[in-house]
């Protein structure tokens, strides 16, 4: 697993009270709900300093897909957009 996946996995294990998750693990199949997704979104913001909308957590429900989106947002945040602003949301 990537570093992002490992950090995200630790969040899921804590919030969902499960022992093991992998890249293909599905947040909702492990018992996640909207309140858990809200908690995960806050942990992502604190850990990675990126904003992840609740909709993204709901649609990118596997650990690997959410980790990839986080990595993409982190990479985009380091590069100015064509108009000179920094992308902070997706």
Q: Is residue 40 part of a domain?
A: yes
More confident residue, 17 or 90: 17
**Encoded tokens for 37:** 């997704």
- d(Cα 28, Cα 51) in Å, to the nearest integer? 20
pLDDT for 27 equals 96
Q: Is residue 89 part of a domain?
A: no
Q: Tell how far CA 60 is from the center of its chain.
A: 8
For residue 12, give its domain range.
Answer: 3-77
> Nearest CA to 39 among 27, 29, 25?
27
- d(Cα 27, Cα 13) in Å, to the nearest integer? 10
Tell me the pTM. 0.82
The CATH number for 42's domain is 1.10.1200.10
Q: Which residue has the tokens 């979104």?
A: 41
- Tens-place pLDDT, residues 42-89: 888 888 888 888 889 889 999 999 999 998 988 887 744 334 333 334
Q: Is residue 88 part of a domain?
A: no
């Amino acid at each position: 697993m990537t570093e992002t996946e490992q950090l995200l996995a630790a969040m899921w294990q804590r919030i969902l009270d499960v022992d093991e998750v992998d890249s293909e693990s599905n947040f909702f199949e492990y018992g996640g709900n909207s309140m858990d997704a809200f908690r995960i979104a806050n942990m992502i913001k604190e850990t990675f300093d990126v904003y992840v909308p609740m909709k993204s957590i709901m649609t990118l429900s596997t650990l690997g897909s959410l980790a990839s989106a986080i990595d993409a947002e982190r990479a985009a945040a380091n590069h100015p957009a064509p108009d000179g602003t920094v992308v902070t949301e997706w």
